[in-house]
Amino acid sequence: MWITRRLTRLLPALALLPLWIAACQPPTPTPPMPESRQTIRYLALGDSYTIGESVPESGRWPVQLAALLESEGIATDLTIIARTGWTTDELWAAIQQRGVQPPYDLVSLLIGVNNQYRGRSPEAYREDFRFLLGKAIEYAGGDPGRVLVLSIPDWSVTPFARRDPRGPAQIAAEIDAFNAINREETEKAGARYTDITPISRDAQADQTLLVADGLHPSADMYAAWAQAALPAARAALLPQAPKRMPAMSDPFDYHQIQNYLTSLVPPRPAEMQEMEAYAEMHGFPIIGPAAGYACYQIARMTGAKNIFEMGSGYGYSTAWFARAVKENGGGKVHHVVWDTPLSMQARQHLHRLGYSDHVQYHIGEAIETLRSMPGAFDLIFNDIDKEAYPAALPIIKQKLRPGGVLIIDNMLWHARIFDPTDQDASTQAIRQFTHTITTDPDWIVTLLPIRDGLIVAYKK
């Protein structure tokens, strides 16, 4: 099971009144939609419950929801990415393979029952669900108010569950635990949540709410889900108040800026996109597309042909540098990691990208490996353990040719450098490194606020 990188995203606040209040009051007219007939783009993500196992296409709950919206004057262009049996990671793999074309006006997400069925842990589900929810918000143009999450139905009430060794009581408890997670994460993100689990439990007394396999819901059950989801879908599609443009004195949102910078990066090869997805799913630190593209640009501008990487991971930054070296007429990027599995993973990625001839692999400690090299390098990239940054600088200076460029990652250190109470060894090391290099007359230094901060230093 993969684990998602923890990300902080901008979550706009919504000021819509909860539509469930209407259930406690006399019937009121349907909330007004724009006068002109509109067509909205709706992306439904999920598993068997979204694709509608064993029901006709018209019986699927997203299709029935679209029909309800159609009856209110909203034509819907519906895309479904779902399949029976999918877990969270399998859904993500399918999204990558199929591709999406955001932004969508409405995105729904119903996922997790197969994680529970296969015995995966709630903690892993939380990470996976949080990741997919973040993607759903991204596909909705960054607006969590346009994302609708449905709870996991309770299959403990079905005949199928009676054959499961865990028994109905344990299955129901596990479903409740998973739903507590997806509800909490949804509310935390500011997205919309519809609890269809109580409806699913009606199948215990009414078997017509199940199809012949004794497990999956019938079209009638899905119709009830669609009705339950309709108020939230309506609210998601109501015209939003125009967002105020920030005045020049307003603080810019860091993540909004970084997302904008990433959006400007030209499309990457599929292999590199897979490397990015792997990092996001597993929480593996890479420099990311915007910083990677900046490194590629700098290497191209300087005509670098001999590049040394300190801390290369599974080859993502190497790929950007190798591309530059190849386009510069040939040369070598020295990939350095401390363990064999990472090195092997990098070799596979870079081979598939066509860069094998331009990469030399080293397994060992980065500073000592650089010390052992003859030099002189056109460009050195430093992304090792932060505590080692100060000790690395004299060796880097010795091995970089005059006129060469040094690029160092993580120089903003997740904004921790601005906190005077943060005396962690890594934070202190970055502060020390920054002071040393910016006060050394042999360097011309700029700190670029791309991703987590890149220092670009020219050696005189």
Domain ranges of the chain: 36-237, 258-459
Please tell me which residue, 111 or 20, carries the higher pLDDT value.
111
Nearest to 111 by CA among 139, 137, 138, 130: 130
Give the neighbor-by-neighbor strand order of the sheet with 400-408: 359-363, 332-337, 306-310, 377-382, 400-408, 454-459, 443-448
Calpha distance 183→179 (Å, rounded): 6
What average pLDDT score do residues 230-246 get? Answer: 70
Confidence at residue 260, expressed as pLDDT on a 0 to 100 scale: 84
Average per-residue pLDDT for the chain: 88
Structure token pair of residue 178: 């998973």
Report whether 455 contacts 445 (CB < 8 A). yes
Structure token pair of residue 448: 């670029």
- Name the residue with tokens 């895309």: 79
Can you give the pTM of this predicted structure? 0.52
pLDDT of 241 strictly over 70: no
Please tell me which residue, 25 or 105, carries the higher pLDDT value.
105
pLDDT digits (tens, 9 = 90+) for 170-183: 999 999 999 999 99
pLDDT of 238 strictly over 90: no
Calpha distance 274→277 (Å, rounded): 5
Longest dimension (CA), the chain: 83
What contacts 417, CB < 8 A, 6 or more positions away? 411, 427, 430, 431, 434
Report whether 454 contacts 447 (CB < 8 A). yes
Q: Counting beta carbons within 10 angstroms of the beta carbon of residue 165, is it exposed (0 to 12), middle (13 to 18) or buried (19 or more)?
A: exposed
CATH classification for the domain delimited by 36-237, as one of 2.60.120.330, 3.40.50.1110, 3.90.1170.50, 3.40.630.30: 3.40.50.1110
Confidence at residue 278, expressed as pLDDT on a 0 to 100 scale: 85
Nearest to 407 by CA among 275, 314, 302, 337: 302
pLDDT digits (tens, 9 = 90+) for 10-43: 233 323 323 322 333 444 444 444 444 568 999 9
If phi > 0 it is left, if psi is from -120 to 50 it is alpha, else beta; for residue 157 that is: alpha
Superfamily for domain range 258-459: Vaccinia Virus protein VP39 (3.40.50.150)
pLDDT of 3 strictly over 60: no
DSSP string, 321-379: HHHHHHHTT--EEEEEESSHHHHHHHHHHHHHTT-GGGEEEEES-HHHHHHHS---EEE
Report whether 204 contacts 168 (CB < 8 A). no
If phi > 0 it is left, if psi is from -120 to 50 it is alpha, else beta; for residue 257 that is: alpha
pLDDT of 362 strictly over 90: yes
Give the neighbor-by-neighbor strand order of the sheet with 106-110: 74-82, 38-46, 106-110, 147-150, 192-194
Calpha distance 319→11 (Å, rounded): 33
Confidence at residue 279, expressed as pLDDT on a 0 to 100 scale: 86
Calpha distance 83→118 (Å, rounded): 16
pLDDT of 225 strictly over 70: yes
pLDDT digits (tens, 9 = 90+) for 321-358: 999 999 999 999 999 999 999 999 999 999 999 999 99
Neighbouring C-beta atoms of residue 148, cutoff 10 Å: 26
Calpha distance 256→265 (Å, rounded): 15
Structure token pair of residue 149: 């999450």
pLDDT of 64 strictly over 80: yes
Structure token pair of residue 247: 């005045």
36-237 with 258-459: one CATH topology? yes
Confidence at residue 27, expressed as pLDDT on a 0 to 100 scale: 44
pLDDT of 140 strictly over 50: yes
Residue % of the chain over a pLDDT of 70: 88
pLDDT of 136 strictly over 80: yes
Report whether 151 contacts 193 (CB < 8 A). yes
Calpha distance 168→159 (Å, rounded): 10
pLDDT of 193 strictly over 50: yes
Calpha distance 118→147 (Å, rounded): 27
pLDDT of 257 strictly over 80: yes
pLDDT of 207 strictly over 50: yes
